[in-house]
Chain A
């Protein structure tokens, strides 16, 4: 139980924020941050712990989002139920992509490129398929009732997002402590050695992919309910693939709180550069990019890695990954 304590503390503290401020700007910022943290935690399980760098987590995010939205709009299915189906659908896409790429032994950048390709295919299909509303997009009808997973104020959304992030933290911590987690890290550290030890690398990677996809799909489902509008460029766009990997990389790859920390930092950097540059078009993005390079350059093991360098070795979590492409 002791290892779960930090999760409860962090979630409890963050849960108090809506009591401190009612500012929609602040809450909106935090909801989006939590959304990225959730999508990033999904990526982190597969990429951070398992060493399988996906460039296409949009495939899961978008599937979760579209399934939730389409079930409501086209079939009148309750949004809460849609959330569960959306998560399952994301996991299913994870099985397909995982089974295909791991069965053929794709590693390193080959795996990254294949995931990117899958996400792009889904984006193109979604931009022409009638069921997604094609180019027009899908609009979820406004229905501000908790039963419909829609709320008048931001605070309930914030707590739900926080709840999902908390759940993902518990799941990942549980995996960290398990034999499955140890196998996963072994695969990241040296896949051939793991195989020689009798680790069924295919099954372990596939299982990690499924859980990873489900977590990121949950973020997509939440996105649909929060913004009530989807099109192909949002749901399957590269922006979410990038944010989902950037958050854990900036925060600390393969660390429990890395995605949350990283999401907070990249969103703060993004917003503050927008504020500073004002109207000049594109300038904020250029500065944002430079700042990101600086962060990754100065703290290659992320903010969590930077913090753990200040803490004596025995309090550190085991095995912080080094960047390794094979």
Chain B
């Protein structure tokens, strides 16, 4: 088994005195797509925030490339190559598409910026056409592509996507999942946090089902997709 890129062990966290994650263990291997599925309120976004350093873990360890990062600042975590694309397409609406992208790449220097921008444009040709357009004028799907593209500008080794399909039309969701596969084909590991069970399980190699702050099911995605427990625990049927 390849050494894990991300290793989370016994992670507890929450807000105020409310515990959201109650002991979560999982890992992501290099170049893998792993999906974490769960209903609203299961703790998916909290998990993404804890890994990227925005929310402090209460207990447990998070190791990225063998270094402990559970106490690191978000900026430091990004510099190490772990990039989170937060939920809800948080783009900079008054900046142009190009300015949005370039903001993701400042840490990597000018020369890398052009290389990365061209790479992002090759993945998202539509962004290339709209380079000088204000990001706020893009459609919902395009804004999501921009948010992901901006994440790619920072040369991630692991990209965390927090509900990228949220609010997109079914056709765009199809397109999005193809793009996620393309990104992964370039050797970037993806942690896909989603509610869209069927499609997430199609692109991912492994899956974890989060419920009430704990993993209730985990395994190869194909196997989970056929697990009778999935419907019972996750969809409550």
- Which A positions have Cβ atoms within 8 angstroms of B? 179, 182-183, 185-186, 189-190, 192-200, 314, 318-322
B95-135 contact mask (Cβ, 8 Å, vs A): 1 or 0 = 11001001110110000000000000000000000001000
- Any A CB within 8 A of the CB of B54: yes
- Any A CB within 8 A of the CB of B35: no
Q: A186-B103, A318-B96 are in contact. List 10 more A-B contacts (CB 8 A).
A: A182-B99, A185-B95, A189-B95, A190-B92, A193-B91, A193-B147, A194-B103, A196-B52, A200-B73, A322-B93
- Any A CB within 8 A of the CB of B178: no
The stretch from B22-30, B77-85, B167-175, B217-225 touching chain A is B77-85
Question: Across the two chains, which residue of chain B brings its CB closest to A199?
Answer: B75
Q: Which of B78, B79, B90 contacts A193 (CB 8 A)?
A: B90
The answer on a CB contact under 8 Å between B94 and A322 is: yes
- Any A CB within 8 A of the CB of B74: yes
Secondary structure of the B side of the interface? mixed
Task: Return B56 CB to nearest CB of chain A, in Å.
Answer: 12
- Any A CB within 8 A of the CB of B183: no
Q: Which of B83, B86, B99 contacts A192 (CB 8 A)?
A: B86
A-B contact pairs, 8 of them (CB 8 A): A182-B99, A192-B54, A192-B86, A196-B52, A197-B150, A198-B83, A318-B96, A321-B94
A278 to B103, CA, bound (A): 54
Question: Across the two chains, which residue of chain B brings its CB closest to A193?
Answer: B90
A189 to B90, CA, bound (A): 9
Known: A189-B93, A192-B90, A193-B90. A198 touches B107 (CB 8 A): yes
The answer on a CB contact under 8 Å between A193 and B92 is: yes
Chain A residues contacting B21 (CB-CB under 8 Å) are none
Chain B residues contacting A196 (CB-CB under 8 Å) are 52, 54, 74, 78, 83-86, 90, 151
The answer on a CB contact under 8 Å between B103 and A197 is: yes
The answer on a CB contact under 8 Å between A186 and B92 is: yes
Chain A residues contacting B94 (CB-CB under 8 Å) are 189, 318-322
Task: Return A214 CB to nearest CB of chain B, in Å.
Answer: 25
B33-47 contact mask (Cβ, 8 Å, vs A): 1 or 0 = 000000000000000
Question: Across the two chains, which residue of chain B brings its CB closest to A320?
Answer: B94
Known: A198-B107, A318-B96. A190 touches B154 (CB 8 A): no
The answer on a CB contact under 8 Å between A195 and B54 is: yes
Chain A residues contacting B52 (CB-CB under 8 Å) are 196
The answer on a CB contact under 8 Å between A198 and B95 is: no
The answer on a CB contact under 8 Å between B95 and A197 is: no
A321 to B92, CA, bound (A): 10
Task: Return A77 CB to nearest CB of chain B, in Å.
Answer: 41
Question: Across the two chains, which residue of chain A brings its CB closest to B91?
Answer: A193
Chain B residues contacting A314 (CB-CB under 8 Å) are 132
Chain A residues contacting B99 (CB-CB under 8 Å) are 182, 318-319
Task: Return A202 CB to nearest CB of chain B, in Å.
Answer: 8
A206 to B83, CA, bound (A): 24
A193 to B74, CA, bound (A): 11
A197 to B99, CA, bound (A): 13
Chain B residues contacting A194 (CB-CB under 8 Å) are 103
Chain B residues contacting A320 (CB-CB under 8 Å) are 94
The answer on a CB contact under 8 Å between A198 and B92 is: no
Question: Across the two chains, which residue of chain A brings its CB closest to B85?
Answer: A196
The answer on a CB contact under 8 Å between B154 and A198 is: yes
A320 to B134, CA, bound (A): 11
Task: Return A204 CB to nearest CB of chain B, in Å.
Answer: 10
Question: Across the two chains, which residue of chain A brings its CB closest to B106?
Answer: A179
The answer on a CB contact under 8 Å between B102 and A198 is: no
Interface centre among A193, A196, A320 (most CB of B within 10 A): A196
A185 to B85, CA, bound (A): 19
Question: Across the two chains, which residue of chain B brings its CB closest to A204?
Answer: B75
A190 to B136, CA, bound (A): 12
A159 to B135, CA, bound (A): 42
Top 5 nearest A-B pairs (CB, nearest first) are A198-B78, A193-B90, A189-B92, A200-B75, A319-B94
Question: Across the two chains, which residue of chain B brings its CB closest to A182?
Answer: B103
Chain B residues contacting A197 (CB-CB under 8 Å) are 78, 83, 103-104, 150-151, 154
Task: Return B228 CB to nearest CB of chain A, in Å.
Answer: 37
Task: Return B101 CB to nearest CB of chain A, in Å.
Answer: 11
Task: Return B100 CB to nearest CB of chain A, in Å.
Answer: 9
Task: Return B49 CB to nearest CB of chain A, in Å.
Answer: 9
A200 to B147, CA, bound (A): 19
Question: Across the two chains, which residue of chain A brings its CB closest to B53?
Answer: A195
Task: Return B78 CB to nearest CB of chain A, in Å.
Answer: 3
Chain B residues contacting A195 (CB-CB under 8 Å) are 54, 74-75
Task: Return A261 CB to nearest CB of chain B, in Å.
Answer: 20
A195 to B54, CA, bound (A): 8
A185 to B94, CA, bound (A): 10
Task: Return B125 CB to nearest CB of chain A, in Å.
Answer: 22
